[in-house]
Chains A and B, each alone.
Chain A
């Protein structure tokens, strides 16, 4: 080969490289790729932890649910809009008195072991959930079920012991996924690591602390999943997850910290997906004893804190300032308002309530449990110092924190406690009853601020009996107003879910319960 030929070849190679590089940096949406879903590819999903167990009835946390909800399906599924949608049941009907729910089951559905899905399969699952001792975590969702009536092979009716018109939401919780009845009788001890469901994916392999590999269920009853395989990988450090996304090792990363969003947004190879979330973050004030037992003091504390600044400067604007005691995506939400940031007003209210400057209050906060919890708590400490309180901030690890805010009212030791709550089913009753019903006082349940108001109790119980959202709405609206006026919390903000996505990932829409159903996800071919 002559020198001239070699030179020409080199030129061609260089030109080729330049073209290839230009191709790599091309912006998304260039016509080279199609917008129609395509089959194939492996999608890697990285989240903070490995699943604890794959036995849905035993699971209690969403990192496991994110995996199991690809394998198991519910009678009713929670849509990405946060309302119940048909799942393994095609339709359902709540009785007008809220005491029973009749479901029509989908026909032609099979579990991956060949077992037919029918009323007997539902019966086997409900029996296991209700009769296993010690109680399975899933039992709390069916706690009000008195009896399951099999009407025919594809029609069933749940009879409830007290009115609960929101029961369909309960059936959509990932914990009540339908497991193959054959597996329930033959493999019950292996269910933490073996799965037999009806869902769009099947378990291929679980290497603990490393990866869970799911393959597409080729015999799925509906439109099969687009991707061939999904791999769930754990990475506890948020910085690690971000780097995995940037290096192409991950296609989706969950729980991106707000501080890293601007960095990801500046990277043209990835995008940030911010999705609504049913979680409200607030500071529970001790309504039972201490200076915060006085509603005037609680209102003063609400005026003392600049929630907008906390949202903008600590959460980098990701989230919404709460204007109701419930997240805006949950049924029952109605805008009530916000306590304006007004230091003078706060000082005046405190003075009227007879709170002397320099009064000591104890403020408990977890660290690393909720989004930016410790930073938010410090900012609130600063704001309360501004209005003359002497705030001692007690930062505790989660278990210690929880035991300190789970004491009976007379032994409670906190004045303020930073907390956050999202109803696992996205239903209003789960939220309101846990937060504000006087029967839910800690340590029994989640009303840790010891809020009690007979009107609220009555309205909540009435709402449970109303069969439609439209009939419940005015009742919850009244609850929102009463709670806002009595200010059992310092209302802060509702969180949003933050995911990092590789540009090739399409069709991902998280539900407000942090579930990401990957059935509709597909990968663009480069």
Chain B
């Protein structure tokens, strides 16, 4: 069995590469102070929009700041927001899913219809409305980027709960006198973990993109904090003349999102018996 899984994993080179890339991003983010020569916000206006050089390996941006430093420090923001956003949508989504799956039909339809309402809105529009309504700042940003993921977690959890609640071990637990909360968290939830992890990985890609999208529009992370979307937004004015300033943060963003998606797809294949041969 174990050997079989490993063999499958080897087949999923994409997933492994995704995991490696993600680990590299995490390492970069953690080691940011050690990896950078220039401060991310140190501005040298007289040397702005310089092409890559020995001193500035990826060139300088429109205010003469080191693009490499800003990308590295920006990874902290992106990863942090990713974790916070996924945690927000995951925790709320799973709780609502358990509630919907294990309580009566009335609560269930209430929860699920609420989720339908949430899914009606396009994710970026919902995020813009929320940031505008809640005001700027990191907490409201987390809500804005996380809210779209909630229904996905809820629906997934509920679907699994519905099949699990009929299984013998859940019935046995109930017969043994376990209380509803005990059944939910002790017996049902652990058996949903795999698909939820997959879902979480896939949602993180969207969350990273949404954070950068909001920042691009000026609604997310505020200057001078280095953030990829903000960097792209500021540099796009010089896209024709100095493409490097918009290209590198774009590449950093693209690579992370591809890695997260590859990892999510691979994990799904790995954990889902239907995809395993």
Contact = CB atoms under 8 A, between A and B. Distances in A.
Interface of A: 257, 259-260, 262-263, 306, 309-310, 312-314, 367, 375, 378-379, 381-383, 385-386, 393, 395
Contact of A375 (B62, B218, B241): B62
A386 B223 CA distance: 15
With a 10 A CB-CB cut-off, give which of A259, A262, A393 has the most chain B CB atoms: A259
Instruction: Decide if the interface of chain A is mainly helix, strand, loop or mixed.
Output: helix
Contacts of B43: 379, 382-383, 386
B45 A257 contact: no
A381 B237 contact: no
Interface in B10-49: 41, 43, 45-46, 48-49
A382 B62 contact: no
Contacts of A367: 218
Given A314-B45, A378-B223, 4 more contacts: A375-B237, A378-B63, A379-B45, A381-B224
B275 interface: no
B60 to A, nearest CB: 10
B250 interface: no
Contact of A257 (B64, B218, B222, B237): B237
A259 B237 contact: yes
Nearest to B49: A313
Contacts of B46: 306, 309, 312-313
A382 B224 contact: yes
Contacts of A375: 62-63, 234, 237
7 contacts: A259-B238, A262-B241, A309-B45, A313-B64, A375-B234, A378-B223, A379-B43
B168 to A, nearest CB: 60
Interface residues on B, range: 10 to 19
A310 B45 contact: yes
Contacts of A379: 43, 45, 63
Interface in B215-229: 218, 222-224
B218 A395 contact: yes
Nearest to B47: A313
Interface in B42-98: 43, 45-46, 48-49, 62-64
A383 B224 CA distance: 12
A395 B222 CA distance: 9
A248 B218 CA distance: 34
Given A260-B240, A379-B63, A382-B43, A313 B224 contact: no
A379 B43 CA distance: 8
Nearest to B219: A395
A383 to B, nearest CB: 7
A367 B238 CA distance: 17
What 6 A-B pairs are tightest by C-beta distance, nearest first?
A382-B43, A309-B45, A313-B48, A313-B45, A259-B237, A309-B46
A382 B234 contact: no
Contacts of A309: 45-46
A385 B40 CA distance: 13
Contacts of B223: 378, 381, 393, 395
A24 B156 CA distance: 65
A385 B241 contact: no
A382 B45 CA distance: 9
A186 to B, nearest CB: 48
B166 to A, nearest CB: 54
Contacts of A378: 63, 223-224, 234
Nearest to B237: A259
A381 B48 CA distance: 16
A383 B241 CA distance: 25
A257 B238 CA distance: 10
B240 A382 contact: no
A413 B189 CA distance: 51
Nearest to B65: A382
A385 B224 CA distance: 10
A312 B234 CA distance: 18
A253 to B, nearest CB: 16
B234 to A, nearest CB: 7
Contacts of A385: 41, 224
Contact of B241 (A263, A312, A386): A263
A315 to B, nearest CB: 11
A382 B48 CA distance: 13
Contacts of A386: 43
With a 10 A CB-CB cut-off, give which of A262, A263, A306, A395 has the most chain B CB atoms: A395
Nearest to A375: B62
A382 B222 contact: no
B94 to A, nearest CB: 36
Nearest to A393: B223
A378 B70 CA distance: 15
Contacts of B62: 314, 375
A378 B45 CA distance: 11
A385 B63 CA distance: 14
Contacts of B237: 257, 259, 375
B32 to A, nearest CB: 19
B36 to A, nearest CB: 17
A252 to B, nearest CB: 21
Contacts of B224: 378, 381-382, 385, 393
A382 B218 contact: no
B228 to A, nearest CB: 16
